[in-house]
Amino acid sequence: MNKIHVLIVDDQRLFSESLANIIRNRAPDIEVMGVVVNAKVSIEYIQEYGVPDIILMDIRMPVMNGVEGTKIIKRLYPSVKIMMLTTFDDDEYVADAIKYGAIGYLLKDMPPDELIASIHAVNGGTFQMSPSIARRLVQIRTSKIAEKSETEPQDLPDWFRALRVRERELLLLLCQGYSNKDISEQLNLAEQTVKNYVSHIYEVMGVDNRYSALKMALKENLTGPW
């Protein structure tokens, strides 16, 4: 069995060591390579011991924070998948971390089994985000859009104009972290209908997964409302 190699980066040693023990005890297919105290040390660790598959990265750390670390690590080691861990669902660094290549953004108080499932999902290339963080991200972007619209008109990209009203609604819910099942309940649609809509949205946007769609929507400041 090929193990998933994980590096934990967090300045709160009690949390990071507890997390390492949880992973070791509950996930035999995940190997914790090491535990370090900030992003700067993580770069030095990688240079000495090798590149992990996944980094579990805290946001707020001394010396070098998680966002700056993500930016540097993704530039040096593009294959590394970085999952951001935060204590607060209103963390203002969410958008920057995603912009620099983070493929997960999760709360530290999530159940251990859900975190392990997220590690497996991220290793397979699936973007992971706690729903409350996704909703906060939309609120932040909405506020910025409102500020911008007071001073200049907002130009909509061609792909967005090509989406129907219902598809724009679905895109907003996707950006908020809702699953296809959640969206079907929110909009009173069959789940297969939602899947069909999502497939068409991806086709129009020229992407093939939720993470890429979210990044494109963020880049264009199109995470709602419209």
Residue ending a domain, choose from 96, 129, 162: 129
User: Would residue 225 count as lying in a domain?
Assistant: no
Residues 157 and 173 in one domain: yes
Residue ending a domain, choose from 104, 129, 154: 129
Residue ranges with strand state E in 118-158: 128-129
Residue ending a domain, choose from 94, 113, 129: 129
Residues 110 and 29 in one domain: yes
Residue 19 CA to residue 68 CA, distance in Å, equals 23
This prediction has a pTM of: 0.68
Residues 30 and 79 in one domain: yes
Residues 40 and 75 in one domain: yes
Q: How far is CA 46 from CA 42, 66, 82, 125, in A?
A: 6, 15, 13, 21
Residues 87 and 196 in one domain: no
Taking only the tens place, the pLDDT of each residue in 99-119 is: 888 988 898 999 999 999 999
Taking only the tens place, the pLDDT of each residue in 29-78 is: 999 999 999 999 999 999 999 999 999 999 999 999 999 999 999 999 99
Residues 98 and 14 in one domain: yes
Give me the domain span that covers residue 47: 4-129
Yes or no: say if 226 and 141 are a contact pair by the CB < 8 Å rule.
Answer: no
